[in-house]
Amino acid sequence: MFSPSNIESCKSSCLNDCLCAAAIFAKNTCWKKKLPLSNGRAKQFSTTSLLKLRNDSSPQSPHNPPNNDKELNKLIIVMSAFLGSSVFVNFIFVVAICIGFFFYFKRNLVGTLPGDSSVQSDLRRMLKDNNNEFKTEVGVIGQTHHKNLVRLLGYCEEKQHRLLVYEYLRNGTLSSFLFGDLKPSWKQRTQIAFGIARGLVYLHEECSTQIIHCDIKPQNILLDEYNNARISDFGSKLLFMNQSHTKTNIRGTKGYVAPDWFMAAPVSVKVDVYSFGVVLTEIIRCRRNVEMEVDEEEKRILTDWVYDCNLDGKLDALVENDTEAMNEVKMVERFVMVVIWCLQEDPNIRPTMKKVMLMLEGIVQVPVPPCPFSFTSIN
């Protein structure tokens, strides 16, 4: 924040500051904001909001950098003159009105900004008792930064209403990619598996506050324009490491939920490892884990069938009619053994995501896994 200032100096200062994503100008004062945008509540007065966007709508190739660095960014000026509300709420909705494309689908709002930049927001309604929890989650998620995570751009909080604003990834979900009419190539699928694993390693071990996602599934993996995997949907089910020793309600999605949730034991990062194992089977086969309409009963639950194929030495059945995968039979075998390690009912036997990533990439050898269904402590 600096004053006295005018609109032009505020604009220039933000343009020349690589950390500045937006600026608020009011009463001869300029507030520069970096991502994630937050802390927008203010008294009742009109403001001018400055939003920095890319000047070029087409993605830049790393081999073809722009000719003029000064052309990378521009500022869009929008007026926020809604009294009695937060500046950030005004900022988001005025931008939405100005861009001319705004629709509501379930709990999500998706918009396209000038310059082809996109945002997606997650609209939530929570009880007042969850205020501190929400702020804690936003603070932690806002500090995460990894190429395999969807980035939180900002949020607002207006009484019981919460709005999370994420970057929008144009290629949609892994679910649509895997289960569509056209089967993705084996190379694309393996790169996606590596990306998900790296993102989970970051959440579990590398970010400042370690995070358990609790809902890893294809619908929560988004793909950017280069089909890089980006883990999304933070905040609705995640746990922090310091919460994992406490009792909590079951979180996750049927078919991907680890058996740990049904045991009288604390949950840990190993619930994400289990869910990743289920997703990896779907990546290998390009079908959903549960398909009850399949004629052959032994194939209806994919994770069970994968184990049977490995036990019987019939891994070719998993990738039939997939020439590229058939030519990489050693990699298929490695992936399947990693799946079986991830699906161990005993969480203590499951490897960490770091070990999973190293095994997937062939950096460390994958030992022969035990039967994943041998753990009998639950009825």
Are the CB atoms for 371 and 337 separated by under 8 Å?
no
CA distance 292 to 301: 8
Give the pairing of strands 118-125 and 152-158.
unpaired
- Backbone φ and ψ for 278, nearest 5 degrees, come out as -65, -45
Going from the C-alpha of 30 to that of each of 20, 45, 189, 311, the distances in angstroms are 12, 14, 47, 66
Residues composing the chain: 379
State the Cα–Cα distance between residues 226 and 62, nearest whole angstrom: 12
Active site residue 215: yes
Residue 182 in contact with residue 211, Cβ under 8 Å? no
CA distance 22 to 32: 6
Backbone CA torsion sign across 41, 119, 131, 148: negative
Under 8 Å CB-to-CB from 358, ≥6 apart: which residues? 364
CA triplet 94, 96, 100: central angle to 5 degrees? 115
Beta strand 29-33 with 22-26 is antiparallel
CA 166 to chain centre: 9
CB atoms within 10 A of CB 311: 10
Q: Which of 122, 215, 224, 322 is catalytic?
A: 215
Which among 110, 96, 227 has a CA at the least distance from the CA of 168?
110
For residues 56 and 298, give the distance between their C-alpha atoms in angstroms, rounded to a whole number.
52
Two structure tokens written together for 59: 């993605």
Backbone angles phi, psi at 111, to 5 degrees: -140, 155
What φ, ψ does residue 174 adopt, rounded to 5°? Answer: -65, -30
Question: Is residue 368 helix, strand or coil?
Answer: coil
Residues taking part in catalysis? 215
